[in-house]
């Protein structure tokens, strides 16, 4: 049977339309640009034209290890690291059971010694009457006198032992002698410790200092520096005036460096214990030199650049001139600003305007 002409023509047209529809449906959507994860750190302005830097951490001027004066088993630990404590606050307690038994025993010893004294006194009085009547010799009376003196000495010794043990009962409670901060916990509940073994590391709530390690060749320069400044890693664009308080003249046997304590003048609430800080030695903050991580410096067209991250999370290169290298950092000059975020890992694969995902580098806080 022959198909009518209009129907015969409609079949190829329908097939073409279906093919176009399939092509349209199978067309892949445009790929969305993926942000490249990068590690960032911040540019730090150098101090002076020939500034030197010394990394360190913030400490309290007064630091001490807190411990019990007697041995025993820790019954409770009432504070954690980072806790602010007040003078007289209870920090930990020891199991008092053994000390209570010792106290009861020493109290009984005092009672027995006092009974011996009373008996010796009665005997002496009786022998004194007999001596007056001539019934005993003087040597026998003197023997009773010695017996009384010995009983009194034993009583005094028992009382002293009782007082010492009562003091030890008080020593089962560890309290803060001053207001301050618990910087670390060194023992846990249930642990048996010796007398004097540190349980907490404690810092008083007073002046803040930065502890740094100084190479032996730079000790004299640091001691005689006319200008020092300190910046915090948390806020590298702010500087604090500083001065050297003390330098340990005994070098560390492994690193051959000297520990120095630099006082922060005008410290505020932003300066917290344990923070990472940098001490700058030089004349002034002039904004012309910057300290950047070595890994942040890359080569593009045989020129040194660093990559900064804009507010819209895009990477942009900034040409710099590398002047020198200082302990894992590069001292550079260029169109930078204090605190500017710089890519410190992943710079080799970046392109201008590339979308990135910034990740702050975690800094290790040094122990007290």
Residues 181 and 85 in one domain: yes
Highest mean pLDDT of the ranges 24-33, 98-107, 112-121, 227-236: 112-121
* Residue 3 in domain: no
Task: Give the domain extent around 103.
Answer: 97-170
Interatomic CA distance for residues 365 and 216, integer angstroms = 24
CA dihedral (19, 22, 27, 28) in degrees, to 10, reads: -150
Interatomic CA distance for residues 184 and 191, integer angstroms = 16
Q: What is the pLDDT of residues 218-264, one digit of tens each?
A: 899 899 888 888 888 887 767 888 999 999 999 999 989 999 999 99
In this structure, what token pair is assigned to residue 355? Answer: 């979308």
CATH number of the domain residue 84 falls in: 2.40.50.100
Residues 243 and 318 in one domain: no
Residue carrying the six token digits 């022959």 = 2
Please tell me the total count of domains within the chain.
4
Residues 314 and 351 in one domain: yes
SS3 at position 97:
helix
Residues 84 and 120 in one domain: no
Q: What is the pLDDT of residues 296-344, one digit of tens each?
A: 888 888 888 999 988 888 889 889 888 777 667 887 878 888 888 889 8
Q: Among 280, 310, 327, give the residue marking a domain's end.
A: 280
* Residue 13 in domain: no
In this structure, what token pair is assigned to residue 135? Answer: 């019934």
Q: Is the pTM of this model over 0.85?
A: no
Residues 305 and 368 in one domain: yes
């Amino acid at each position: 049977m022959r198909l009518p002409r209009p129907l015969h023509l409609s079949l190829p047209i329908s097939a073409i339309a279906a093919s176009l529809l399939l092509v349209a449906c199978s067309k892949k959507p445009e790929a969305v640009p993926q942000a490249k994860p990068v590690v960032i750190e911040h540019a730090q302005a150098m101090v002076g034209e020939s500034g030197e830097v010394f990394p360190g951490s913030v400490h309290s001027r007064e630091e001490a290890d807190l411990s019990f004066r007697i041995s025993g088993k820790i019954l409770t630990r009432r504070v954690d690291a980072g806790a602010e404590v007040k003078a007289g606050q209870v920090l930990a307690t020891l199991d008092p059971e053994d000390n209570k038994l010792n106290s009861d025993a020493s109290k009984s010893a005092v009672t027995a010694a006092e009974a011996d004294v009373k008996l010796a006194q009665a005997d002496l009085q009786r022998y004194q009457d007999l001596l007056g009547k001539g019934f005993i010799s003087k040597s026998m009376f003197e023997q009773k006198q010695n017996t009384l003196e010995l009983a009194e000495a034993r009583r005094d010794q028992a009382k002293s032992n009782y007082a010492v043990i009562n003091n030890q009962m008080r020593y089962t409670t560890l309290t803060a002698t001053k207001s301050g901060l618990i910087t670390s916990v060194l023992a846990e509940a249930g642990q048996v410790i010796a007398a004097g073994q540190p349980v907490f590391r404690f810092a008083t709530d007073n002046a803040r200092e930065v502890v740094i390690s100084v190479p032996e060749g730079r000790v004299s320069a640091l001691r005689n520096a006319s200008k020092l400044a300190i910046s915090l890693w948390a806020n590298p664009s702010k500087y604090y005036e500083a001065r050297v308080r003390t330098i340990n003249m005994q070098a560390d046997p492994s690193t051959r460096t000297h520990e120095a304590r630099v006082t922060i003048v005008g410290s505020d609430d932003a300066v917290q214990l344990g923070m990472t800080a940098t001490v700058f030695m030089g004349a002034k903050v002039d904004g012309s030199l910057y300290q950047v991580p070595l890994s942040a410096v890359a080569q593009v067209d045989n020129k040194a650049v660093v990559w900064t991250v804009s507010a819209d999370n895009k990477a942009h290169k900034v040409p710099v001139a590398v002047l020198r290298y200082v302990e894992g950092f590069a001292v550079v000059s260029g169109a930078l600003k204090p605190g500017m975020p710089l890519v410190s890992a992943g710079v080799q694969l970046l392109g201008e305007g590339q979308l990135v995902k910034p990740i702050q580098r975690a800094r290790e806080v040094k122990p007290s």
